[in-house]
Structure 1
Amino acid sequence: MNTTDWITDIILVLIVFRQMREERLDRKTFLIPLGIVAFVGFKYLHTIPTAGNDTVLIGTLVAIGAALGVAGGVFTRIRSAGGHLLIKAGAVSAVLWVLGMGARMGFQVWVDHGGADHVARFSLDHDITSGRAWVAAFVLMAVTEVVTRVATIFVRSRMVAARQPVTAVARPVSSLDHAL
């Protein structure tokens, strides 16, 4: 792992701590995590291998990412106060986020420090054709986790907003109103 890899992985792990304090739900709530995974996808995802059981590996990790993302979004508190939506990642959401992002980082560190032979043997035994399949699987897992978490939060925020009572907006009285 190079310095950029470390910085990117650490930012992805730490982003949840920013959300553990309650703050206003706005565009940056969605754009920052999506921007980070767009960068990660652009930097690391050059191809999606489909030979052998590569798609099974990729599909499995994408499914895990989706499950972690939806669960993380469900365990994020969203409430309305003062006409604004507020968001706060709960402990379960934070644990799920760190588990998903940390597992990817831990896997890379393990591979770089002695685990490569185990991964190669596993890949050979299970017809995974290349290291690119592992890269694609883990990058797509991260992207899926972020996108499903953000999408879950977005849907839940619309549901919270829809439950808020509609208040009448005062309009100026016109001369036509006085004539009636």
Structure 2
Amino acid sequence: MTTTDHLISAALFLLVIPQIRGIRQTLRNALLPVVAVAAAAVYYLRSFPTQGHDVQLDLVGVLAGAVLGVACGATTGVHRGSDGIALARAGVVVALLWIVGMNSRAGFEYWATHSGSTTIAQISRDNLITGSAAWTAALLLMALAQVLSRLAVVRIKARRISSVATAPVRA
């Protein structure tokens, strides 16, 4: 991994810190992780292979990311702040799931560029995966799916909190 790779990984990892302290559910705060992952995708994604079983590999990445993201969102606490705006606070489970997602991608990348390159090449041949660009796309889609699915779950929870707070009281 290059210095840039480490900096991008660190920046994505540091997105968890404000979420653990608690973050207001404004549009800006909600979109920051999406923009960060999209920027990483622009940096890393040179092509989007669709031959062989590349699309199926992408779907596996999306599914894995979505499962992690939904689990993160489900275990994120959301309550109404004193100003009426929903406040989301990630706990230990969310941090661990985020770390699992980040480390699984980073670990795979390390393994692929070191001792696992022969094994991955064989898996790619056996499963009609066209090469490293396909693996890169699947891992980036996994990250994006994790961020988007967590965001969706947290935003739904925040909207419920806000709608309860603004619902008229009936006598």
Unaligned segments of structure 2, at least 5 residues: none
Contact map agreement 1:13 1:102 (CA 8 A) in 2:
no
Contact map agreement 2:23 2:29 (CA 8 A) in 1:
no
Secondary structure of residue in 2 paired with 1:102: helix
TM-score, structure 2 normalization = 0.90
In the alignment, the residues of structure 2 paired with residue 46 and residue 14 of structure 1 have an alpha-carbon distance, to the nearest angstrom, of: 25
Residue 166 of structure 1: CA displacement? 4.4
In the alignment, the residues of structure 2 paired with residue 29 and residue 71 of structure 1 have an alpha-carbon distance, to the nearest angstrom, of: 20
Contact map agreement 1:52 1:128 (CA 8 A) in 2:
yes
Residue 22 of structure 1: CA displacement? 2.2
- Given residue 116 of structure 2, which amino acid in structure 1 is its aligned partner? G
TM-score, structure 1 normalization = 0.86
Aligned to 2:139: 138
Aligned to 1:99: 100
Aligned to 2:11: 11
Paired residues, what number?
168
In the alignment, the residues of structure 1 paired with residue 69 and residue 86 of structure 2 have an alpha-carbon distance, to the nearest angstrom, of: 20
Residue 136 of structure 1: CA displacement? 0.5
Aligned to 1:43: 43
Matches within 5 A, 1:19-58: 19-58=19-58
- Given residue 25 of structure 1, which amino acid in structure 2 is its aligned partner? Q
Residue 42 of structure 1: CA displacement? 1.1
Aligned to 1:109: 110
Unaligned segments of structure 1, at least 5 residues: 169-180
Secondary structure of residue in 2 paired with 1:51: coil
Aligned to 1:174: none
Note the alpha carbon deviations across 1:86-141, whole angstroms, 9 max, x for none.
11001111111111111101111112222111111111111111111001100111
Of stretches 139-148 and 28-37 in structure 1, the one that deviates more from structure 2 is: 28-37
Of stretches 6-15 and 60-69 in structure 1, the one that deviates more from structure 2 is: 6-15
